[in-house]
Amino acid sequence: MVSEHSDAQDGETAALALKILVAGGFGVGKTTLVGAVSEIRPLRTEELLSEAGQLVDDTDGVDQKVTTTVAMDFGRITIRSGLSLYLFGTPGQDRFWFLWDELSQGALGAVVLADTRRLEDCFPAVDYFEHRHIPFVVAVNCFTGARTYGAQDVSRALDLDRGTPVVLCDARDRDSGKEVLIRLVEYAGRMHTARLLDSVG
């Protein structure tokens, strides 16, 4: 968790900045979500897909995709006065997963983006955060033309731990993305409070 503190002088309040990861499979909309909600020009590390990459990058279902994130995306959004979120979008392909451990250091929680047409692609991200006890929400990116499933259907299909939130969203829409982030912050706050109480109980 990243934090920034200012002296409470002249009516200033302490500022808090929280680190959030945005993860999920290849082509699910991570870069789009970070770009849609960021109030600063997002940092992107995208490269064009190459013929060599066709052997390892499964573009089935995302035929129009021509670039891929090779390191991370970065953006920032202010949720309210004194609370900002720093967003780190992770690369989706297996060969870049070594970056996840570095990116997850100090994270409050994560958003796992899911595409119901390729739901199995988000299993690695779900497993990663569950095994490391990092709070996360699953955000189903509702693509045009894709069959719509309810939150409970997705939760069962992913075999999520009880209480893990599943929300429907449009990664292109700022307000929709912001609602996902607010839901994550609320959920992660409850999880961290519960763990703290358990540790002193």
What is the Cα Rg of the chain in Å? 17
Q: In a 10 Å sphere around its CB, with 0-12 CB exposed, 13-18 middle and 19+ buried, how is residue 52 labelled?
A: exposed
Q: Which of 1-5, 58-62, 88-92, 101-105 has the lowest mean pLDDT?
A: 58-62
Mean pLDDT, rounded, for 124-130: 95
For residue range 90-106, list pLDDT tens digits in order.
Answer: 887 666 677 889 889 99
pLDDT higher than threshold 50 for residue 6 = no
Mean pLDDT, rounded, for 166-192: 97
- Give the pLDDT confidence score for residue 55 in this predicted structure: 47
pTM of the model: 0.81
Closest residue by Cα to residue 23 from 180, 190, 193, 197: 180
Q: In a 10 Å sphere around its CB, with 0-12 CB exposed, 13-18 middle and 19+ buried, how is residue 139 labelled?
A: buried
Q: What is the mean pLDDT of the chain?
A: 84
Q: Which of 6-10, 27-31, 122-126 has the lowest mean pLDDT?
A: 6-10
Mean pLDDT, rounded, for 148-153: 92
